[in-house]
Amino acid sequence: MKAIQCLSTAQCLRKVFISSIELVHPTSSLFAHATFLRPPTRLPLPVSVRTRSYAQATSVGRRLPRDEEIPASHVHLVDENGTFHPPTPLRKILTSFDRKLYNLVVVSSIESGRTPICKIISRRELRDRERAKPTKNRANVVKQLELNWAIDSNDLGHRLNKMQEFLEKGMKVEVILASKRKGRKASVEEAATVVRRIRERSKEVEGAKESRSPDGKVLGQMTMFFEGSVKT
């Protein structure tokens, strides 16, 4: 008869604890947490970018009502042949076609006291119309890039790449240059080099230009203004 091996309480707990760890999948939270103990990988510094937009001269109104959104009990229906029908109950028209494939859409502005004019339009056609709508005017979007006068060459290159990317999309770019309160101060020669490189990179973008003279002063706070050419 085999001898029974006696283990102390501490030995039993140790055995159970070690066995449970061996069963944990490497992707568990224990191993995920352990990854924080590894030395961090050096990543490029994030580019500080701000966005603002100019107000449009005219705002695009919301789409015209459709189906139950139509604020009327009766509507004029214009059929596919262009025939103008007398006022018909809205509910009656909504039950006369396949709602999964079509919508009843108001096709003219709704005037107070007048019966809305509507047309039955396929959902596919409506989706195509939505996709064909003009996109947001990028010429009204302003991107702001913040740079330090004492920025090193590599970081400056990353920020100028972003500037070119925005200009190629036809956006306006404001490059804001300033000195950090704490840190190395740039020399006049270094500051002049930064300004020169900014202007050189903007000229590499077809149609881009410096839209006006900079505001501020070198080695103080200064903003340079550029704009891309909107491709039609």
Architecture of the structural domain at 136-227: 2-Layer Sandwich (3.30)
May I ask the CATH class of domain 67-131?
alpha beta
Spatial distance between the Cα atoms of 112 and 137, rounded to a whole number of angstroms: 33
| pLDDT at residue number 54 | 42
Task: Give Cα 78 distance to the centre of its chain.
Answer: 40
Domain boundaries, the chain: 67-131, 136-227
pTM strictly above 0.85 = no
- Residue keyed to tokens 């839209």: 211
Under 8 Å between Cβ of 174 and 143: yes
| Beta strand spans in 85-193 (E) | 88-89, 102-106, 117-122, 141-148, 172-178
Question: Could you list the pLDDT tens digit for every one of the 232 residues in the chain?
Answer: 444 444 454 554 455 444 444 444 444 443 344 333 444 444 444 555 655 544 333 333 467 788 999 988 999 998 887 788 899 999 999 999 999 999 999 987 777 778 889 999 999 988 888 777 655 566 677 899 999 999 999 999 999 999 999 999 999 999 999 988 888 899 999 999 999 999 999 999 999 999 999 999 999 999 999 999 876 5
Alpha helices in 76-187 (DSSP H): 90-94, 123-131, 153-168
Spatial distance between the Cα atoms of 169 and 32, rounded to a whole number of angstroms: 40
| pLDDT at residue number 128 | 85
| pLDDT at residue number 126 | 87
Neighbours of 153 (CB within 10 A): 9
